Structure 1
């Protein structure tokens, strides 16, 4: 009815759920213990997800009258640090720059066989995180998702992100020479924050060293601002928006962070209107959100 795919992966029901720090599968391998990463120390680790939503092993299923296709693709886990207590807001700028480099390398590699690649991070039990160790994921899709295609087509018609950067004004939270952090004027979540390079690039794989470092600095500082806003770690969804196949020349990458807390002790829920119509009801004006984010500290926690 909406021209959108739904993927089914029943095997994911048995995935690891909130293990203790002592049994965390993403911590460095311990003698006699279980772990996904066979190193005593590491900076960033990438490996194939044991519970994928898309897999090369997916097989077709026929349903009369319904269009179906096998959910063929690849899902990877990206572990940001060997420190179980770390997070994007506590990692050094060099480590965040390395993470951007890793994202870019995987987007480039996976994009050779898949039309769309999405790096992302889910943070916080409030949004359903099942492992506390700092990590994200990368999904390589067998199709271009409908909302991604709409965004890519809009950017093919006009330089949407460049116009946002030039006219952001009071929506800017922080700027660097090669990148900017801002609240989009159409923010769907309170305190939604985007980070974008000033130069139009299709993804992190084409950032220069200087651009990557500025993006890394703003990424860490943006997360620390969100954490400081209400004095607690902010639950959020972070996505690295990269060009789908065929739109590399016109797409402008962004890192989008959608927080799930609208006030101290209050979560932003997607209720009847959002779920039923797709129209988001935001509780905070974008310019007010930007002003409040500018007013809080982006320093590293003591």
Structure 2
């Protein structure tokens, strides 16, 4: 793999990831861009012990432009984009409208019991392919491997940045999810704190270890593989299953068979085996209702400084679509109380996904 670093017109970093060593990445971004926005403001919620980012500049971010104005496509004469090159394989660059950044900002007191501090960190965009009308499900195994190499590279580099506590790689897909750009892409957040979900699951993992001496994530995987009824697909190195207590009508977790704290711990054979299984699962999602499935794909990796002995890198993939013409909305119970009610039995979801015929 060849990695090439360059800078956009406003100083943001951009990384090309190529399989070819002779890839020419000398194109220069000659746009006249406005100054980069200041870092967001973090405010502490004493009732939930969570940090909330206030990022007003994101209100002005690009929203569902036509394909002819897509900022993630390669640049062409007369229409420069976020990617200066006329073609690319995989590209990662700093988000122009970040939730967290290293830019300076001014922060005052807000009163009450809330603390305030800068939203230091970093947000990056990952372009999975230069093909605007493609999707992750249609990527070749080799292209998925290149995307994974980009995830691994960025996780390692962002984890080494001062103040970063956790790195999160994810993809939002579909207008129903709230995407602002339709080009196949994901994002990477480098948080200045350990996220609430990770703190919650690590607390459960710590208590499980005290009771049993085992790793909670590994034991969940082993139990699902033994039960089999919720397994959707598997290969030598990975298993995809619907969790027994799924919150979402369509929810699949993908685990490597060997516990590693983050993606960088995966061996070459494990990295290569991920793509064929994952894209198969994505095609099953699209085939479930014979339409593109909106989804969120979320990589859970160990935080930088805590819990690495508890962590087990894995992906959560879920959708809010519960039927061909119905979405699951997070209404009163879920939104106000965090108490989920799932309309679809996990065993039924697994059976339906197994029955989908994929290409």
TMscore range, shorter length: over 0.9
Equivalent residue for 2:131, pick from 79, 83, 99: 83
Match of 1:293 in 2: 353
Q: TM-score, normalised by structure 1?
A: 0.96
Task: Indicate yes or no: 2:264 matched with 1:205.
Answer: yes
Structure 1: distance between partners of 2:348 and 2:223: 16
Give structure 2 stretches of 5+ with no counterpart: 1-46
Range with bigger deviation, 147-156 or 36-45: 147-156
Q: TM-score, normalised by structure 2?
A: 0.81
Give structure 1 stretches of 5+ with no counterpart: none
Structure 2: distance between partners of 1:147 and 1:10: 24
Equivalent residue for 1:130, pick from 180, 189, 195: 180
SS in 2 for 1:51: coil
SS in 2 for 1:240: strand
Task: Indicate yes or no: 2:173 matched with 1:117.
Answer: no
Match of 2:218 in 1: 162
Match of 1:70 in 2: 118
Match of 2:11 in 1: none
Q: Structure 2 matches for 1:33-52, cutoff 5 A?
A: 33-52=79-98
Structure 2: distance between partners of 1:93 and 1:279: 38
Match of 1:93 in 2: 141
1:153 Cα deviation after fit: 3.2
Equivalent residue for 2:292, pick from 233, 254, 257: 233
SS in 1 for 2:80: coil
Equivalent residue for 2:63, pick from 17, 40, 50: 17
1:58 Cα deviation after fit: 4.7
Match of 2:316 in 1: 256
Contact 1:119/1:138 (<8 A) preserved: yes
Structure 2: distance between partners of 1:298 and 1:191: 17
Match of 1:142 in 2: 192
* Runs of 4+ that moved beyond 6 A: none
Richer in strand (by share)? 2
Structure 2: distance between partners of 1:147 and 1:250: 14
1:150 Cα deviation after fit: 1.7
The structure with the larger Rg is 2
Give CA-to-partner distance per residue, 1:222-266, whole Å, 9 cap, x none.
111000000000001111111112222321011111112101111
SS in 1 for 2:187: strand
Structure 1: distance between partners of 2:188 and 2:349: 29
Contact 1:191/1:293 (<8 A) preserved: no
1:161 Cα deviation after fit: 1.8
Match of 2:13 in 1: none
Give CA-to-partner distance per residue, 1:87-144, whole Å, 9 cap, x none.
1111111111211121111111101121101111111111111100000100000111
Range with bigger deviation, 94-103 or 227-236: 94-103
